[in-house]
Chain A
Amino acid sequence: MLKVEQLSKQIDRQTILDGIDFTVESGEIIALVGRNGAGKTTLLRTMVGIIRPDQGDVLYGTKSIFKDAGLKRDVIFVPDSADALKHYTVNEATDLYESIYPSFNRSVFRETLTRYNIDNKKIRQLSKGQKALVTLSLAFAVQAKYYLLDEPTDGLDVVAKSDVLKLMIAQVEKRNCSIIVSSHQLHELERIADRIIMIENGRVKAILSLEEARALSIKWQVVFNDHVPVELLERKDIEIISVTGRVVLFMAKERTEELEAFIDSYNPMLIEEIPMSLEDVFRVQLGGEAHVV
């Protein structure tokens, strides 16, 4: 079990992490979501000991990852680019990983290379998708227990994204390892994540299963008899997505009786609940695009 205990970190007198606390169980994929600058990358870097927290700890079993560097054989961090290995050829990188991690399985790695038709070139000469596949495959061939992936599909095309996701799912199914993945590609996380950790201003806003996340908020399409009431459009607790004639589509952070009563008071012709996507949950819980920094 990997346990993040009350992690706090200030950088330039700004609080980047503020009492982050959660546990990662075996065999689960956790999506780390949050706005730009919410502290996701700092959290992942701290979890693997790159950054030291001001307070708190990261425990693997009962041992602190900051005191026993050897624990990192089972906790692998994969950054968002392959910049670190750009001067290595694929074979050289393989040799490096094999010498660092005794559990490295060369045949598993070779299998991935063959499947995705990746040649032994300098890593900087590979396409962005191939780089992502190589770095992830190297990490997965280590046969570690925990993987911390920072935006692994950032900037990849649709096919490469799909390949990366398949690779992640296959690892969890085969080896019961755990993956914590930070990404802004919410529709992809939706397909693979068991749990969502929402980070807002360095704090954990919520830890939910996907179902819980979807149930947390509502997305309604309401058709009124004559026009959309101005009072509804002016409400601060909802986010209007579209207004077309008498039809309004909106989301609300919470399902409240007061909101339901408010809508009912206008005797609408139709109230239809639209299934929430993770992106909808993100927008309504962590702020809409208008607030993106």
Chain B
Amino acid sequence: MLSKVLLKKDWKQVSLLWILLVFLGIVAFTVPVWTQMQVYEEQIRDMQENPSDYSDILREDVETMNTEDFFNSNSDYGYLGGLESLIPMGIVIFLFVIFGALMASVLIGSERNSQMSDFSMSLPYTRTQLYISKWVIGSTGIVAATLIGGALMFLIIRLSDYSFLLDGNEVKVLGLIVFLLLSGISFFSLSLWMGSFGGESISQVVWTFVALVFPMGIVALIQGSLIAFSPNLSYTLFDEVFESVPMRILSPLNNIVNTEMYSIFDSRAEWTEFLTIGLSSSIAFIVLTFGLGLWMFKEAPQENNGRFFMFSNWLWLIHIVIVICFAMLGGVFFSGIFYPQSVMLYLVGFFIGAFLAHLLAKRLLYRFNLRLKS
């Protein structure tokens, strides 16, 4: 099913980004660790040199304290942090979101912008093979960046003065590295799926951004709309929705937000939930987006290359969704800028948002069209 020739062809397109991703991945995994260690060192040195400045947290003679004591959350010496501060989750996720979208848009979107897409489709390979090859080449970039970067990060901590932080937490750190890996592949898979129906690279990137925020965004808009009508509505329901398993599966960002690193190292229950729900939600998302992407890539009408949305029979649905979302956004915005919230203002915002969104959708869906030879 996987063709070496197609891998070679896709490698030619994406090699520069792939290598850059691995390089930046190594930087993202290691440099912040190094920097954080410097911060710890400076903090400890400052405490040792000016103990009077920290008299409220230092209860013993600072001269007798060793490095480990500054990280003991159960002691009275003060707590500088732990492994959760050393592992640069945010920066790695940011890198994977950006590079996932870039690689996917080079692999599909920019192919659609040029005649490369026609060339690929005219080769003696199925569309399934074409898609799998693109998915594999992009995913390997994320795997390589994570494995090399993660291993170096592990080594840096292990060989440093802060090695004691790892003791007993090795598996948890490994789990977090796997989680980062799965999250990276999730973002890439999502963006590649968006390329299966976004007719060129800009559309693909826009769709990726929309898909990233849509699951959480739509819940937030429904919440805002309901609150505009019933200000006393309980927030608990929506908190439960955000923390629910389906929501964690549908939104990798939500899954990350729900993964609290501090709790993972501190609480056995959190660690078990992370192992079960956190990791499996990522895997489920990858399977879902890969499957949908493959199916839509196979079905996408190639003659609609260059358009914002390639499935022209479904434009009406996209149009309605855009109008509803922007209408709710307008309503929530208008009702939120005045206190107390007003239903009338919500309705004004709703209709203004709907009207503007209708104009935007008309332009985006029906007129935005690159001039490619058909």
Contact = CB atoms under 8 A, between A and B. Distances in A.
- Do the two chains bind? yes
Interface of A: 9, 11-12, 16, 41-42, 45, 48-52, 69-73, 76-77, 79-81, 83-88, 92, 96, 99-101
Nearest to A98: B5
Contact of B301 (A52, A69, A70, A72): A52
Contact of B8 (A12, A99, A101): A99
The 5 A-B pairs of least Cβ separation, nearest first, read A84-B119, A72-B124, A83-B115, A77-B122, A50-B121
Contact of A51 (B5, B123, B301): B301
Most buried by A among B116, B119, B122, B301: B122
Interface of B: 4-5, 8-9, 12-13, 114-116, 118-119, 121-126, 129, 301-303, 312, 373-374
B118 A50 contact: yes
Contacts of B124: 69-73, 100-101
A96 to B, nearest CB: 6
A42 B303 contact: yes
Nearest to A78: B122
Contacts of A77: 118, 122
Contact of A100 (B114, B123, B312): B123
Contacts of B373: 41, 80
Contacts of B129: 69
A84 B114 contact: yes
Contacts of B123: 69, 72, 100
A27 to B, nearest CB: 22
A96 B302 CA distance: 23
Contacts of A81: 115
A51 B302 contact: yes
Contacts of A51: 301-303
A220 to B, nearest CB: 38
Contacts of B13: 87
A12 B4 CA distance: 37
A100 to B, nearest CB: 5
A37 to B, nearest CB: 9
A207 to B, nearest CB: 24
Most buried by A among B12, B114, B303, B373: B303
21 contacts: A11-B303, A42-B303, A45-B118, A45-B302, A48-B121, A49-B121, A50-B118, A71-B124, A77-B118, A80-B373, A81-B115, A83-B116, A84-B114, A84-B116, A84-B118, A87-B13, A96-B5, A99-B5, A99-B8, A100-B5, A100-B123
Contacts of B126: 69
Given A52-B301, A96-B8, A100-B124, A42 B374 contact: yes
Given A48-B122, A84-B119, 12 more contacts: A9-B303, A42-B374, A51-B302, A69-B123, A71-B124, A72-B123, A76-B122, A83-B116, A84-B114, A87-B12, A87-B13, A96-B9
* A contact face: mostly helix, strand, loop, or mixed: mixed
Contacts of A84: 114-116, 118-119
Most buried by A among B114, B115, B126: B115
A88 B118 contact: no
Contact of B122 (A12, A49, A88, A99): A49
Given A50-B122, A96-B9, A11 B374 contact: yes
Nearest to A79: B115
Contacts of B312: 12
A112 to B, nearest CB: 20
Contact of B12 (A11, A50, A52, A92): A92
Nearest to A148: B122
Nearest to A45: B118
Contacts of A16: 374
B119 A85 contact: yes
A83 B116 CA distance: 7
Contacts of B8: 96, 99
B217 to A, nearest CB: 31
Nearest to B129: A69
Contact of A50 (B4, B9, B125, B302): B302
A87 B13 CA distance: 8
B5 A83 contact: no
A251 to B, nearest CB: 31
Nearest to B113: A83
Nearest to B366: A12
A83 B374 CA distance: 15
B111 to A, nearest CB: 9
Nearest to A46: B303
Nearest to B127: A69
A10 to B, nearest CB: 10
A236 to B, nearest CB: 33
A79 B303 contact: no
Nearest to B123: A100
Contacts of A87: 12-13
A69 B174 CA distance: 43
Most buried by B among A16, A71, A77: A77
A217 to B, nearest CB: 30
A72 B122 contact: yes
A86 B111 CA distance: 12
B37 to A, nearest CB: 42
B322 to A, nearest CB: 20
